[in-house]
Structure 1
Amino acid sequence: MGEHNHNHEVHSGERLIDAARDSLLSAGEQWTSMRADVFEELASHERPASAYDIADNLSAKRGKRVAPNSVYRILDLFVGNNLALRVESSNAYLANSHPGCTHDCIFLVCDECGEATHVDSDEVSKTVRGIAQDAGFATRRPIIEIRGICASCN
């Protein structure tokens, strides 16, 4: 899985937005006003948000229509640069609380309230990557989703 050469500090609020901007800029990408708005909107959600949710909220804030396709492109850029995490089963996104971190994605997804909790487990990641390697498969970034009921809904 490789060594993680970054500060594994969890960010929130303005510090999260600053960390995301710094991470994207250090990757050689631009931090445009639209990208900033999309990230800020994404970061304001406690539960995974769809591109349509983000586009609708930004349209209301900006007073003009923001196309979901534009939001999808930005979210894909964010996922590719580890600023956001994609919950595959619900096609929704979460802001990565430690931008730039490349831990594998392990989500606990509640079927009742929709909450998706991202957890890190080097042990699980090592096992999954080992299984893939034994099968001759080169992994990029495993995404594991465990569906069930969260403690609040249980």
Structure 2
Amino acid sequence: MKKPAKAPANNGHDHRHCVEDALSAAERLCAQKGLRFTPLRRRVLELVWSSHKPVGAYALLDELRSEDLGSAPPTIYRALDFLIENGLIHRIEKMNAFVGCSHPGETHRGFFLICNQCGNAEELDSDSVAEAITSSASRRGFVPRDMTLEVTGLCGECRRQN
């Protein structure tokens, strides 16, 4: 498995700010909830945010092994579970991978646009999409408990390059 890819430099985007903001939000959230933000959890979050591309657990594990931070799959999965449970990352089911949450600690739906070409995933914040799905489900007598939507296609940057 390859290491988590670095995000391309798009339109002056400095990805270090994304990582710094995610780490700061996680520190605040853990302090508010009285949770331990261990060095391993911190590093896993940092690696997940090292790109806007979803990253798999084994790619994370390879990086952690090279840094002597963890060598067993249960180690990485416990850290990932903690980050998911506390609203700091999302799991992209289709790719069996993880991506940073752009609304850390907030209860919200996971809607993602995933580029087939560059692999970046962008989280959408859309109450109208959630309402449309909930309304359609309700008409069928179904009550949604959890909702994640993954839409694949080409991002604007890749479309401009083609």
Q: TM-score range by the shorter chain?
A: 0.7 to 0.9
In the superposition, the TM-score normalised over structure 1's length comes to 0.81
Q: Which runs of 5+ in 2 are unaligned?
A: 1-16
Q: How does 1:68-147 map to 2 (within 5 A)?
A: 68-147=73-152
CA distance in 2, matches of 1:148, 1:48: 15
Q: In structure 2, what is the equivalent of residue 67 of structure 1?
A: 72
Return the offset for 1:42: 1.4
Return the offset for 1:68: 2.8
> Size of the alignment, in residue pairs?
143
In the superposition, the TM-score normalised over structure 2's length comes to 0.77
Return the offset for 1:19: 0.9
Identity of aligned residues (%): 36
Q: Does 1:33 align with 2:43?
A: no
Q: Is the 8 A contact 1:86 1:94 kept in 2?
A: yes
CA distance in 2, matches of 1:116, 1:139: 24
Q: Which runs of 5+ in 1 are unaligned?
A: 1-10
Q: Is the 8 A contact 1:41 1:54 kept in 2?
A: yes
Q: In structure 2, what is the equivalent of residue 20 of structure 1?
A: 26
